[in-house]
């Protein structure tokens, strides 16, 4: 620098987020050890007691001339009098901690924020990263996660083939945990400790307890592994996880209701693909050893190694039910796959009818609900079923047309909105025209009729016509009809879309 010149600016230091692995210092990466050795400042988080697990893992790599920055949380799980509450106290702490590290970085020092596990996986470092990485040169050194360590210590694969692994914090609401555990193939629940009782209940309610394992302090001193069902909640620390491993690699144990008897679960898959499937149904399909169903509905269910599939056409419901119950009598876990909701013109009735006869009375049967076609179609159109409505099948294959006609007339006379299933097929071509004729005796010609076809599928279409203009030639077995009541409205919105809705209020009837 020449005389009178401005001082040269100090180049900013480099920020590192360093993952240390699950606890055993020998599981640190070579890169992590090198960065720590070369850093000027070592920062780590700890509770108010001052003991840092991250520092203890990295201890052998720390030098006497390292500048250490202990970032001590003002609160952990206890309450606080901070005006912003618990979150406000932590946000203030992170801002202060980031400012302390920025002082070193501005002075040109290299700062390594060490974190157990992986820095960006539920790690404390990520709060510094969000506040500093856009301001300084930054590098994140990945580390072995506690999840990988837990699976390794159990000796059980986490996922195989197309299985989906779900990672859940135990702090989620119990209902949410239950739904996610029921719907996924494999799972790891972290952050146990005080959350363990609700996690345990969620495992039980989701039916995953027989598969669940417990790992405490994986690779660290005091490590413990066991079946989750055998763990005393009072002994569970924060550094523990629950693991539901691969069902393919580790088939769950069969726990039949009685010796030699499995179970039949009738599952509603909704009107189309997986977006319409409930978490409970998804879990039941994954847990089944045998799938029984109409070929079209079975094709919606992903193929899983080890599962047996028994497909048939759509006219042998009793035979399908008997096959499922026979398999369950031999100890198999069977899912009968049904479209829509299994209790609405679907397989639940057929299964329960056969299950009420000998020799199937002792076979456990459960029915799981699904999104039915009427509700799916109504949602696409708006809310045409927003008030009282009736659901009627126009198929006269299992009941005479005279019964159908009486019910149509009664429902129409009561001014109910209608959802008409099975309106037509290649062999049933006159029912829609006859139904239109009957309905026009009770409804105005301009009553809205929604033709909902292939809802949720690739050929989905939703059209609204007047009852008088309903063309039977535009109706097939993949079409569902929604007939409005006298109060149903059709409204064109400002964006050009059309919505159909039936108000929940009904006009008062004059006294007779």
The model's pLDDT over 102-159, given as tens digits with 9 standing for 90+, comes to 999 999 999 999 999 999 999 899 999 999 999 999 999 999 999 999 999 999 999 9
- Who contacts 140 (Cβ-Cβ below 8 Å, separation ≥6)? 16, 17, 19, 119, 120, 125, 129
The pLDDT value recorded for residue 8 is 67
Q: Which of 143, 174, 201 is the last residue of a domain?
A: 143
Q: What does the alpha-carbon distance between residue 306 and residue 285 come to, in Å, rounded to a whole number?
A: 13
Question: In angstroms, how far is the first alpha carbon of the chain from the final one?
Answer: 105
Q: Which candidate, 152, 252, 145, places its Cα nearest to that of 207?
A: 252
CATH number (domain holding residue 470): 3.30.950.10
User: Domain check: are 186 and 127 in the same one?
Assistant: no
The pLDDT value recorded for residue 47 is 85
Are 192 and 169 within 8 A, CB to CB? Answer: no
User: Domain check: are 122 and 227 in the same one?
Assistant: no
User: Domain check: are 217 and 182 in the same one?
Assistant: yes
**Which regions in the chain score pLDDT beneath 50?**
1-2, 256-258
Whether 409 is in a domain gets the answer yes
The pLDDT value recorded for residue 259 is 55
Domain of residue 113, residue span: 15-143
Q: What is the pLDDT of residues 350-383, one digit of tens each?
A: 999 999 999 999 999 999 999 999 999 999 999 9
- pTM (2 decimals)? 0.79
User: Domain check: are 239 and 276 in the same one?
Assistant: no
Whether 4 is in a domain gets the answer no
User: Domain check: are 380 and 483 in the same one?
Assistant: yes
Q: Using alpha carbons only, give the angle 210, 286, 373 rounded to the nearest 5 degrees.
A: 130
User: Domain check: are 116 and 57 in the same one?
Assistant: yes
User: Domain check: are 407 and 356 in the same one?
Assistant: no
User: Domain check: are 358 and 406 in the same one?
Assistant: no
Q: What does the alpha-carbon distance between residue 164 and residue 460 come to, in Å, rounded to a whole number?
A: 29
CATH number (domain holding residue 311): 3.40.1010.10
User: Domain check: are 37 and 126 in the same one?
Assistant: yes
Whether 175 is in a domain gets the answer yes
Are 450 and 492 within 8 A, CB to CB? Answer: no
Please provide the size of the chain in residues.
512
The pLDDT value recorded for residue 1 is 45
User: Domain check: are 383 and 481 in the same one?
Assistant: yes
How many structural domains comprise the chain?
A: 4
**Tokens 């360590």 -> residue:** 149
Q: What does the alpha-carbon distance between residue 254 and residue 47 come to, in Å, rounded to a whole number?
A: 44
User: Domain check: are 364 and 387 in the same one?
Assistant: no
């Amino acid at each position: 620098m020449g005389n009178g010149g401005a001082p040269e600016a100090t180049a900013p230091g480099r920020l590192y987020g360093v993952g240390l692995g699950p606890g055993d210092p020998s599981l640190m990466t070579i890169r992590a050890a090198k960065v720590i050795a070369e850093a000027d400042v070592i920062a780590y988080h700890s509770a108010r007691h001052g003991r840092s697990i991250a520092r203890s893992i990295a201890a052998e790599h720390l030098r006497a001339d390292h500048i250490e920055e202990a970032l001590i949380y003002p609160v952990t799980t206890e309450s606080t009098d901070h005006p912003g509450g618990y979150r406000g106290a932590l946000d203030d702490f992170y801002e202060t901690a980031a400012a302390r590290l920025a002082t070193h970085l501005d002075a040109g020092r290299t700062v390594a924020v060490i974190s157990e596990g992986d820095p960006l996986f539920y790690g404390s470092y990520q709060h510094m990263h969000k506040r500093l990485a856009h301001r300084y040169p930054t590098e994140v050194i990945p580390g072995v996660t506690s999840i990988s360590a837990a699976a390794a210590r159990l000796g059980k694969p986490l996922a195989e083939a197309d299985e989906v692994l779900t990672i859940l914090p135990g702090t989620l609401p119990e209902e949410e945990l239950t739904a996610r555990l029921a719907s996924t193939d494999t799972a790891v629940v972290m952050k146990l400790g005080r959350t363990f009782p609700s996690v345990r209940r969620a495992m039980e309610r989701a039916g995953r307890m027989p598969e669940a394992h417990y790992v405490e302090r994986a690779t660290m001193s005091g490590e413990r592994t066991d079946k989750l069902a055998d763990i005393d909640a009072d002994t569970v620390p924060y550094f523990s996880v629950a693991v539901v491993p691969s069902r393919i690699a580790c088939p769950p144990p069969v726990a039949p209701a009685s010796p030699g008897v499995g179970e039949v679960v009738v599952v509603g898959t909704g009107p189309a693909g997986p977006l319409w499937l409930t978490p409970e149904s998804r879990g039941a399909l994954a847990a089944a050893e045998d799938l029984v169903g109409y070929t079209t509905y079975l094709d919606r269910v992903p193929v899983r190694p080890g599962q047996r599939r028994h497909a048939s056409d759509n006219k042998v419901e009793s035979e399908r039910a008997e096959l499922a119950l026979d398999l369950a009598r031999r100890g198999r876990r069977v899912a009968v796959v049904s479209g829509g909701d299994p209790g609405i013109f679907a397989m639940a009735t057929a299964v329960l009818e056969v299950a009420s006869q000998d020799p199937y009375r002792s076979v456990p049967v459960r029915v799981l609900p699904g999104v039915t076609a009427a509700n799916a179609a109504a949602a696409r159109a708006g809310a045409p079923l927003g008030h009282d409505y009736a659901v009627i099948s126009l198929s006269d294959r299992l009941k005479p047309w005279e019964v159908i006609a009486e019910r149509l007339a009664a429902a129409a006379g009561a001014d109910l909105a209608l959802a008409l299933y099975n309106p037509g097929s290649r062999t049933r071509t006159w029912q829609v025209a006859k139904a239109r004729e009957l309905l026009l005796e009770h409804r105005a010609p301009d009553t809205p009729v929604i033709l909902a076809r292939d809802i949720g599928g690739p050929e989905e279409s939703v059209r609204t016509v007047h009852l008088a203009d309903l063309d039977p030639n535009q109706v097939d077995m993949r079409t569902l009809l929604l007939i409005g009541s006298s109060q149903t409205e059709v409204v064109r919105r400002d964006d050009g879309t059309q919505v159909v809705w039936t108000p929940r209020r009904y006009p008062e009837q004059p006294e007779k």
